[in-house]
Chain A
Amino acid sequence: MEYVLAFLVGGIICVLGQLAMDIGKFSPIHVMSMFVVLGAFLGSIGVYDWLVSFAGAGAILPISGFGYALMDGVTANIQESGLLGIGTGMFAQTGVSLSAAILFSFLISLIFKPKG
Chain B
Amino acid sequence: MKLRDNYQEAVKIFQPKPSYFLNAVKAFFVGGLICGIGQALQNFYIKFFTLDVSVAQHMVLGTFILLATLLTGMGVYDKIGQFAGAGSMIPITGFANSLASAALEHRSEGAVLGIASNMFKVAGAVIVYGVVIAYILGVIHYLFWNIF
Contact = CB atoms under 8 A, between A and B. Distances in A.
B49 interface: no
B57 A60 contact: yes
B91 A62 contact: yes
B61 A78 contact: no
Given A21-B85, A60-B57, A61-B64, A6 B35 contact: yes
A53 to B, nearest CB: 10
Interface residues of A, number: 75
Interface string B32-53: 1111101111110000000000
Given A41-B133, A63-B95, A3 B103 contact: no
Contacts of B100: 104-105, 108-109
A67 B30 CA distance: 21
B130 A40 contact: yes
Given A17-B86, A70-B134, A112 B20 contact: no
B124 to A, nearest CB: 9
Nearest to A116: B75
A10 B34 contact: yes
Contacts of A55: 35
A47 interface: no
B134 A13 contact: no
Given A32-B125, A114-B107, A108 B65 contact: no
A82 B65 CA distance: 32
Given A11-B32, A96-B58, A101-B99, A63 B92 contact: yes
B69 to A, nearest CB: 4
Interface string A97-116: 11011101111111111111
Given A57-B39, A112-B73, A62 B92 contact: yes
B69 A40 contact: no
Given A2-B43, A114-B107, 5 more contacts: A14-B90, A15-B28, A19-B24, A61-B61, A78-B142
Shortest Cβ-Cβ A-B pairs, 7 listed: A10-B35, A14-B31, A11-B32, A112-B73, A57-B38, A17-B86, A115-B75
22 contacts: A6-B36, A6-B39, A7-B35, A11-B27, A18-B85, A21-B86, A57-B35, A57-B41, A61-B34, A62-B90, A63-B95, A71-B137, A90-B135, A97-B62, A97-B65, A100-B62, A101-B99, A105-B96, A105-B119, A108-B70, A108-B104, A112-B73
